[in-house]
Amino acid sequence: MTRTERLLQLMQILRRHRYPLTGAELARELGISLRSIYRDIATLQQQGAHITGEAGLGYVLQPGFTLPPLMFSAEEIEAITLGARWVAERADHQLAMAARDALAKIAAVLPAATRHASESSGLLIGPTVQQLGDNGQLKQIRQAIRQQQKIHIAYQDERGQISQRVIWPCALAFFDHVRVIVAWCELREDFRHFRTDRIQAIQMTNQSYPESRLGLLKQWRQQEGIPAR
């Protein structure tokens, strides 16, 4: 790995994390010495990267600095292509079209050889034959999550009983055969999981829920024993 490649990789590592990474952690991931990390951090800072922190405390890349786009490795191209193809096959219609559009935009500005690698990737997603939920409902759920708004749903449980719920959706989990909303339920006064294929009706309330989505997710992870990523 050349030093230029190493600097780019160092930036990518910092971009993946929102919390400080120590020099030792960075050195271990890159397989270089701690002294080299300190030199590389100083070089990136001199080139305009807004990296805050110091030796012993950790480093964070602040928003506002971007690398030249589309400098993807072969593995990154495969990951992007495979992920977009999965969304195109498994998500609701609008999200599927967005995935295809995103791939097309990326391919349009990639170097020819890299574009060919993306378009001819041998990593494929098999079709699904199971109905995973109403497209319009999934669009509304995603909108409510983005806007941190309450929604009213008529929900049918596994026994066929229907209840009326006002929920605060904070995440939508995509499994192979089911979509599950993670939400705070006002009726149960606790977190609950709702399968989208069991939602009989949905109504947007245009009411913001009183906590942030990220705060709710943090509480849910702690309650479920799921480590933060």
Burial 69-96, CB ≥16 within 10 A → b, else e: eeebeeeebbebbeebbbbbebbbeebb
| Structure tokens, 200 | 């009989």
- 88 and 52, same domain (yes or no): no
Q: What is the CATH number of the domain that holds 52?
A: 1.10.10.10
Phi, psi of 135 (to 5 degrees): -60, -45
Beta strands in the chain (DSSP E): 51-54, 58-61, 149-156, 162-174, 179-185, 190-195, 199-208
pLDDT tier, 189 (very low <50, low <70, confident <90, very high otherwise): very high
pLDDT tier, 121 (very low <50, low <70, confident <90, very high otherwise): confident
| Structure tokens, 138 | 């999934």
Residue 113 is assigned to a structural domain of this protein = yes
More confident residue, 132 or 22: 22
The structural domain count of the chain equals: 3
The stretch 82-91 carries a mean pLDDT of 88
Distance CA 177, CA 180 (A): 10
Q: What is the pLDDT of residue 229?
A: 62
Report the share of the chain in percent with pLDDT over 90. 48
Q: What is the pLDDT of residue 71?
A: 61
Q: What is the pLDDT of residue 66?
A: 54
Do residues 107 and 64 lie in contact, with contact meaning Cβ atoms separated by under 8 Å?
A: no
The stretch 104-125 carries a mean pLDDT of 77
Residue 156 is assigned to a structural domain of this protein = yes
Residue range(s) defining the domain that contains residue 81: 74-119
- 115 and 143, same domain (yes or no): no
| 14: helix, strand or coil | helix
Check: pTM over 0.85? Answer yes or no.
Answer: no
Do residues 56 and 42 lie in contact, with contact meaning Cβ atoms separated by under 8 Å?
A: no
